[in-house]
Structure 1
Amino acid sequence: MASKNKTAKNEIDVTEFIQSFVESEQKKQDSFQLIELMKEWSGYEPKMWGPTMIGFGSYHYKYESGHEGDAMIIGFSPRKAQFSLYVAAPEEEDKKLLEDLGKFKMAKACIYFKKLSDLNLDVLEKLSKSTIKYISENNECSCR
């Protein structure tokens, strides 16, 4: 039996989540600005994924192991210490873009940054659109 994905889309109100979860006024402003940008770049309305992630669009994935599920195409989480940004950078030109993204730390599945002004928003837009393109070409996706 396949395990259920822990991070599923839900009906929590995004604005209410930010107002109640995010303590810093700067982080609230950054969150609302990031929502507007990602909405514009993706063409999707923001939806909550799990208790703390805000995602735009969705796609279905299936691994060779048989594990499958649905995930957000792009998104972020305004965590207490720093933001977590969920964009992929799988292509070689994306890796070059990261050099100009700004002040951030990279982990396997996400990019961490403290405030939106630390990032080059033009580069973030290119990374986000590249992620959408890559996912639409490689997965079952509503973004086609």
Structure 2
Amino acid sequence: MDIEAQIEQYIAGQSVSKRIDMQALHQIILQLMPGCKLWFLDGKNSAGKTVSNPNIGYGSHTINYADGKTKVFYQIGLSANTTGMSVYILGIKDKSYLAQTFAEKIGKASVTGYCIKFKALKDINIDVLEEAILYGLKS
């Protein structure tokens, strides 16, 4: 199954309200990142054990590890979780920037150094989420 089909299947497998929100977020991110590389991670390690929630990834950036190794990974991620959804914005050097800049104006969301977690799209200001994603893309 190709990546787009895996993404469609993943979104379709969510509850109705979460599915509607995830489809809307998927379209918003694709509009912000036209032609980006798509990723789908099923949340399983090489042994087939579940180690995380499945993730949809958009774009790519290189992660540089302290030991000198590098890894190409997605830059923006979207995942369903037990209480809602998470948007991951990877590659930001200043781990306090997202929370300091967007936490107070985004609405009912938890904002960390690279993750914005919320229950439903109606609980957040989508324009602020887009602003945070665009900041991450520039970083």
- The TM tier, using the shorter chain, reads 0.7 to 0.9
Specify the alignment match of 1:141 in structure 2: none
Specify the alignment match of 1:86 in structure 2: 88
Specify the alignment match of 2:38 in structure 1: 47
Cα deviation 1:51-94 (Å, max 9, x = unaligned): 11011111122123223212211121012322111025638775
Percent of aligned positions with the same letter in both sequences? 25
Alignment of 1:58 with 2:60, yes or no, is: yes
Distance 2:58 2:81 in 1: 18
Q: How far apart are residue 120 of structure 1 and its match?
A: 0.5
Which contiguous aligned blocks of 4+ residues in structure 1 show a shift greater than 4 angstroms? 91-94
Q: What pairs with 1:88-103 in structure 2 (closer than 5 Å)?
A: 88=90, 90=94, 94=98, 95-103=100-108
Partner residue of 1:133 out of 122, 127, 138: 138
TM-score for both structures, normalised by structure 2: 0.75
| Structure 2: gaps spanning 5 or more residues | 43-53
Partner residue of 1:34 out of 25, 29, 33: 25
Q: What's the Cα RMSD here? A: 2.4
TM-score for both structures, normalised by structure 1: 0.73
| Structure 1: gaps spanning 5 or more residues | 1-9, 135-144
